């Protein structure tokens, strides 16, 4: 199947209320252009400089999403144009994004990445850190809009484990939405689900899926 056939199939499968982020990390610009020509406008990358090079070369109506762990000294590269940062995993990072957003006279949309997996290596905040950040840090960050949450399930074949993690994040999301964010129109996005688990994620309440290898083919190197 071609990239454009894959895009069309996924758009059909996930339905209107779920946003497809086509994860193009490590893939050449031609592949992104092909997906673009099929109508795809939202692309996810995990390296600031790689995303910026692609941003500069490709059509300007593409929405670029940063989905990978972001170092604070790289924020300046993406602040002028990034559409959504999925991977806010510390207060220090959020403050840096706010600073660079202000320099660029922008408000940057962010998702808080919540740690839901059993693996030690995964980045993210736990629930109490999220609540602390929202209540104590966010009020002073005028150039940040928190648009929702992002999570990555454990990399396992065990569907019950994944389902449990997705349901936990969905419950936390709904709780924040009706409490801390009850007056926010921005807090709407629950980003969960990748190539291997997106349909389960949608069943658990995801409204944004990040699909890479199932659209563009397997990557040559891992990050």
Which residues of the chain form contacts with ligand PLP (CB under 6 A)? 23, 25, 46, 67-68, 152, 194-196, 210-214
DSSP state of 140: G
Q: Based on CB atoms, which residue is closest to ligand PLP, 26 or 52?
A: 26
What is the C-alpha separation between 11 and 219, in angstroms, rounded? 21
Q: Based on CB atoms, which residue is closest to ligand PLP, 159 or 213?
A: 213
The nearest distance, CB 102 to ligand PLP, in angstroms, is: 26
The nearest distance, CB 79 to ligand PLP, in angstroms, is: 20
Structural contact between residues 108 and 147, judged by C-beta atoms closer than 8 angstroms: no
Q: Tokens for 181, please give them.
A: 């964010």
What is the C-alpha separation between 84 and 4, in angstroms, rounded? 24
Q: Based on CB atoms, which residue is closest to ligand PLP, 176 or 209?
A: 209
Q: Residue 130 to residues 46, 91, 113, 150: CA-CA distances in angstroms?
A: 22, 9, 9, 12
Q: Tokens for 22, please give them.
A: 């086509």
Q: Which residue is nearest to ligand PLP (CB)?
A: 212
What is the C-alpha separation between 72 and 95, in angstroms, rounded? 9
The nearest distance, CB 216 to ligand PLP, in angstroms, is: 8
Q: Residue 1 to residues 4, 112, 213, 221: CA-CA distances in angstroms?
A: 8, 34, 12, 21
Q: Based on CB atoms, which residue is closest to ligand PLP, 175 or 217?
A: 217
Report the candidate in 107, 71, 101 with the shortest Cα–Cα distance to residue 88.
Answer: 71
The nearest distance, CB 205 to ligand PLP, in angstroms, is: 17
The nearest distance, CB 124 to ligand PLP, in angstroms, is: 10
Q: Based on CB atoms, which residue is closest to ligand PLP, 23 or 93?
A: 23
Q: Based on CB atoms, which residue is closest to ligand PLP, 99 or 210?
A: 210
The nearest distance, CB 206 to ligand PLP, in angstroms, is: 12
The nearest distance, CB 51 to ligand PLP, in angstroms, is: 12
Q: Based on CB atoms, which residue is closest to ligand PLP, 54 or 210?
A: 210
Q: Residue 204 to residues 16, 146, 156, 160, 162: CA-CA distances in angstroms?
A: 16, 21, 17, 12, 10
Residue with tokens 């609540």: 131
């Amino acid at each position: 199947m071609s990239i454009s056939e894959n895009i069309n199939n996924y758009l059909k499968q996930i339905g209107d209320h779920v946003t497809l982020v086509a994860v193009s990390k490590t893939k050449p610009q031609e592949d992104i252009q092909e997906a673009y020509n099929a109508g795809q406008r939202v692309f996810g990358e995990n390296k600031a400089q790689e995303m910026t090079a692609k941003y500069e070369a490709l059509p300007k109506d593409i929405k670029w999403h940063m989905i990978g762990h972001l170092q604070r000294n790289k924020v300046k590269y993406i602040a002028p144009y990034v559409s959504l940062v999925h991977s806010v995993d510390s207060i220090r990072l959020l403050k840096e994004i706010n600073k660079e957003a202000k320099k660029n006279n922008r408000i940057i949309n962010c998702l808080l990445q919540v740690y839901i997996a059993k693996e030690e290596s995964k980045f993210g905040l736990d629930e109490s850190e999220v609540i602390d950040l929202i209540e104590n840090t966010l009020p002073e960050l005028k150039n940040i809009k928190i648009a929702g949450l992002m999570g990555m399930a454990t990399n396992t074949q065990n569907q019950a484990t994944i389902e449990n993690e997705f349901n936990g994040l969905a419950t936390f999301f709904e709780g924040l939405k009706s409490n801390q964010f009850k007056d926010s129109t921005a807090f709407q996005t629950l980003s969960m689900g990748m190539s291997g688990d997106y349909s389960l994620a949608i069943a658990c309440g995801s409204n944004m899926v990040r699909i890479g290898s199932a659209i563009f083919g397997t990557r040559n190197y891992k990050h």
